[in-house]
């Protein structure tokens, strides 16, 4: 796995992120502080944060703020559920996707077995293991609460999105164990699934009771707007998480992919990815401006579609604002306009 510079030596650098031009106004829920505290209590009750150090790390993550920026109008209970799912995803990434032993040995059996267990839990199977696993317990709790909002059939889109997410994770970890840095095109095709944003959109629709008609859900404009929002969110994450991933030896980052393929410096790759983000945001706004021209969408009268589009907008803006305030990531300087 060779990059055109000593990436390990770049750990101490402060990278400059060029301005990200997002015209979507920032919002945050009035419940933000209460939900942030409640999510910490929830994580502790399931053993996700089992000591003071883990609890401090959870507090620095400010996952409650993430949820509150993406779902500013949800009720306290709704916001708590989506924030708990966000927290579960981050812990899953830290515990399994960044597992050093798996990456060093190239043994993916434990990784695959864990994902099979999680899928069984989501499908309502009682899983018995030799020792308590906090991710099992917390996932079962999330499923139980989702079933208060919808039926088992209503969970299927969400469960399918989680399956895609796990398969994207396996692709990323397999790349690492085999010493592969993917080309830019392949990375961009796989990143929307491995990033987990689709799972958050699905759970957000369940919790907020957003029900898109099948012909609307599958409409080309809606699918492309969803992809644009997903790209914005995941590429922004790649910008802000770069230092963390370099420290962990995690090469799954669009910046490192650009750096490797174009044989450029890290800062040049950062500049490229920032402009790619700005281009996706512009494309999102351009496509949205055409919605009133499409009679089948009935955008002006379809309140569920309006709420879904608002959720996509919040994922672009809320993710950006949270990335600026969380202490989960470090090692960057924002270049002002």
Taking only the tens place, the pLDDT of each residue in 69-97 is 999 999 999 999 999 999 999 999 887 77
Residue 1's pLDDT band (boundaries 50, 70, 90)? very low
CB 206 within 8 A of CB 146: yes
Does a structural domain hold residue 243?
yes
Does a structural domain hold residue 203?
yes
Structure-derived torsion over alpha carbons of residues 31, 161, 329, 53, reported in degrees to the nearest 10: 70
Q: Looking at the predicted structure, is the pLDDT value of residue 283 above 50?
A: yes
Tokens of 26: 């920032």
pLDDT digits (tens, 9 = 90+) for 248-264: 888 899 999 999 999 99
Does a structural domain hold residue 12?
no
Residue 155's pLDDT band (boundaries 50, 70, 90)? very high
pLDDT digits (tens, 9 = 90+) for 91-145: 998 877 765 555 556 678 888 999 999 999 999 998 777 677 899 999 999 999 9
Q: How many structural domains compose the chain?
A: 1
High-pLDDT (> 90) share of the chain, %: 70
Q: Looking at the predicted structure, is the pLDDT value of residue 179 above 90?
A: no
In angstroms and rounded to an integer, the radius of gyration of the C-alpha atoms of the chain is 20
Identify the pLDDT of residue 106. 63
Tokens of 191: 């990143």
CB 193 within 8 A of CB 233: no
Q: Quick count: other Cβ atoms within 10 Å of Cβ 27?
A: 17
Alpha helices in the chain (DSSP H): 32-45, 52-61, 63-70, 76-92, 100-105, 109-122, 134-146, 156-177, 184-194, 197-207, 214-217, 220-247, 254-262, 266-288, 303-325
Q: For residue 17, which phi and psi values (nearest 5 degrees)?
A: -95, 120
Please state the rounded mean pLDDT for residues 158-169. Answer: 97
Does a structural domain hold residue 62?
yes
Q: Quick count: other Cβ atoms within 10 Å of Cβ 77?
A: 14
CATH number of the domain to which 189 belongs:
1.10.600.10
Q: Looking at the predicted structure, is the pLDDT value of residue 332 above 80?
A: no
Does a structural domain hold residue 89?
yes
Domain that holds residue 168: 18-334
Does a structural domain hold residue 13?
no
Q: pTM of the full predicted structure?
A: 0.93
Please state the rounded mean pLDDT for residues 275-283. Answer: 98
Does a structural domain hold residue 126?
yes
């Amino acid at each position: 796995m060779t990059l055109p510079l000593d990436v390990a030596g770049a750990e101490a650098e402060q990278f400059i992120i060029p301005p990200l031009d997002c015209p979507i106004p920032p919002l945050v829920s009035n419940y933000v502080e209460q939900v942030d505290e409640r999510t910490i209590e929830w994580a502790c009750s399931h053993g996700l944060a089992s000591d003071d150090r883990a609890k401090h790390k959870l507090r620095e993550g400010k996952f409650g703020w993430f949820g509150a920026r993406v779902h500013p109008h949800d009720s306290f209970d709704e916001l708590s559920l989506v924030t708990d799912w966000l927290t579960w995803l981050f812990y899953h990434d830290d515990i399994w996707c960044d597992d050093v032993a798996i990456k060093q040995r190239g043994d993916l059996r434990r990784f695959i077995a864990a994902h099979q267990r999680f899928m069984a839990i989501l499908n309502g199977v009682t899983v018995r293991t030799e020792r308590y696993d906090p991710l099992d317990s917390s996932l079962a709790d999330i499923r139980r609460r989702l079933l208060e909002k919808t039926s088992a059939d209503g969970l299927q889109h969400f469960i399918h999105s989680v399956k895609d997410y796990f398969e994207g994770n396996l692709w990323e970890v397999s790349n690492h164990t085999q010493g592969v840095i993917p080309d830019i095109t392949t990375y961009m095709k796989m990143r929307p699934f491995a990033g987990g944003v689709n799972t958050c959109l699905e759970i957000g629709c369940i919790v907020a009771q957003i029900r898109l008609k099948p012909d609307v859900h599958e409409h080309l404009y809606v699918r492309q707007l969803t992809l644009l929002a997903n790209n914005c969110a995941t590429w922004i994450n790649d910008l802000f998480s770069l230092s963390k991933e370099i420290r962990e030896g995690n090469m799954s980052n669009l910046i490192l992919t650009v750096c490797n393929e174009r044989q450029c410096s890290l800062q040049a790759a950062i500049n490229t990815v920032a402009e790619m983000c700005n281009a996706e945001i512009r494309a999102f706004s351009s496509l949205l401006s055409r919605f009133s021209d499409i009679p089948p969408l009935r955008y002006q009268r379809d309140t569920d579609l309006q709420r879904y589009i608002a959720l996509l907008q919040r994922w672009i803006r809320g993710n950006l604002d949270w990335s600026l305030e969380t202490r989960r990531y470090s090692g960057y300087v924002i270049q002002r306009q």
